[in-house]
Structure 1
Amino acid sequence: MMNSIESFKEQRILLFDFRKCSGCFICMLVCSYTHYGGFDFNKSHIRVYENPKAPLSFISMYCTHCDHPICEAACPANPKAIVKSSDTGFVKIDRMKCIGCRSCIYACPISIPHFDEEYGVCSKCDACDGKFLCAEFCSTGALMVVPRSKAKYYLENIMGVKYE
């Protein structure tokens, strides 16, 4: 049996390699279809945008399932609608408990949760219950799932992102 530190290091996270993204938006379509049964870019929990500073280059925004999620702390619902799993590390919104106040959207540093007008609740990436379908269907490998213990290596040595 793994201790909590070992378990944390092996939790899987999603990484985006902008150098490989072709801008096909399949990840967004897979996400919206999986969660809403239709192809709607506005209902995708992952967003891909053309980089305004580099034509034909793309950036992605998605929930990073923070170690200490501010969205969870900001949720006033009782019981909490937003909970981080200690087993998987995923931060999920229970749509049946969400009161639609949007506190999570305002609290998130990158405004990842979005308000679903149709249902009157907030929603965000749930990692497809560990399947990460956006990464599974990414034909270029721009989206990849790695254990937390390897994330810094990928970011620094493969993607060239430096941390002090």
Structure 2
Amino acid sequence: MTIEAQSTELTHFDQSGQAHMVDVAGKQDTHRTAVASGSIRMQAATLTIVTQGNAKKGDVLGIARIAAIMAAKRTSDLIPLCHPLPLTRVSVDFNIVAEKAMIICTAQVETIGKTGVEMEALSAVQIGLLTIYDMCKAVDRGMVMSDIRVLEKHGGKSGDWTSMIDAAPAQT
């Protein structure tokens, strides 16, 4: 995978500084994917409720998965300058990290189109985590969502990009 250079231009502003939707009419349709992730930390007892399926509102992770998929599909309704995209695939996974009382949400989104799906993947992750919070807040209002970010993207003129954050040496 290649690491692309970041552009220094903001694309959602015209020459006079007014916000606008980027014109993608001249771009080629290509297969595009993006993977995003984020986490939610909670009390150990809250995680037990989630994993044992004892939440009063129902299957926390099942409902959060559906909410995340719906969010990816509705991203252009939520973020003003995003293009509506015909998504070809949305996959949402939850990884339980019991020793940290944490759930990691990872979303992979795909399309064949003129613009990328990073925002759709980020929307899926954030709404998945918010749904977990909503379903568990009656027992744990101190949950913390963090580390929401794009892990990788593929396709389009700019090619492939992979986050290097985890590749950096740990600070001591």
Give the shorter-chain TM-score range: under 0.3
Which of the pair has the greater relative contact order for Cα pairs under 8 Å at 6+ separation?
A: 2
TM-score in terms of structure 1 length: 0.24
TM-score in terms of structure 2 length: 0.23
Rg comparison, structure with higher value: 2
Kindly indicate which of the two structures has a greater share of residues assigned to strand.
2
